[in-house]
């Protein structure tokens, strides 16, 4: 795992404390253990603090997965 991967995993793990790393990597957000909109908002705030990137909740839901979020951050030069 590269540094960006580690940081992103930490963000997801803090927002979804009951999800395993495998679940974080493979599941769609709405299938993630403990998912609700408040969790989603928490993830957005954590991503903002960690990577300085503001994403809206609908945009996050369109991204759907951990890998898609990573690509999004890469495209914006955040990682």
Partner 1 sequence: MSLIDALERLKGPVSANASPLRVFLACGFTPLHLGTFLSAHLRNLYPSCRVELKSGLFGDLIGNLERLRSEEHDALAVVIEWPDLDSRLGLRTLGGWQVDKLPDIVNSVDLSLKRLTLALQRLPFGLPTRVCLPTLPLPPLFYTGAERCSVFELNLRRSVAAFAESISFVPHVSVVSGQRLDENSPPGKRFDLRTEVTQGFPYKVFHASVLGELLAEVIFRHEPKKGLITDLDDTLWAGILGEVGVAGIHWHLEDHAQVHGIYQQFLASLASAGVLIAAASKNDATLVDQAFKRADLLLSKANVFPIEAHWRRKSESVQNILKKWNVLAESVVFVDDSPMEVAEVQTAFPGMECLVFPKDDYAAFWGLLSHLRNRFAKISISEEDSLRLQTIRNSAAFREPEGEEGSSLDDFLKGAEGRLTFAFGKPLEDPRAFELINKTNQFNLNGKRYDEADWSRFLEDPRKYLVTVSYQDKFGKLGKTAVLTGRLRGKQFVVETWVMSCRAFSRRIEFHCLQYLFEKFAVAEIFFELQATGRNGPLIEFLQQLVDGPVEANSQLSRSSFLRKVPKMPHQVEEVSANG
Positions in the binding site for partner 1 (CB under 8 A): 10-11, 14-15, 17, 38, 41-42, 45-46, 48-50, 54, 56-57
Give the shortest CB-56-to-partner 1 separation in angstroms: 6
Give the shortest CB-36-to-partner 1 separation in angstroms: 12
Residue at token pair 């928490």: 42
Give the shortest CB-11-to-partner 1 separation in angstroms: 6
């Amino acid at each position: 795992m590269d540094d960006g991967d580690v940081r992103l995993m930490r963000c997801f793990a803090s927002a979804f404390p009951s999800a395993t790393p495998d679940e974080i990597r493979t599941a769609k957000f709405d299938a993630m253990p403990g998912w609700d909109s408040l969790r989603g908002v928490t993830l957005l705030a954590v991503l903002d603090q960690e990577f300085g990137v503001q994403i809206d909740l609908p945009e996050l839901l369109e991204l759907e997965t951990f890998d898609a979020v990573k690509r999004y951050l890469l495209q914006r030069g955040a990682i």
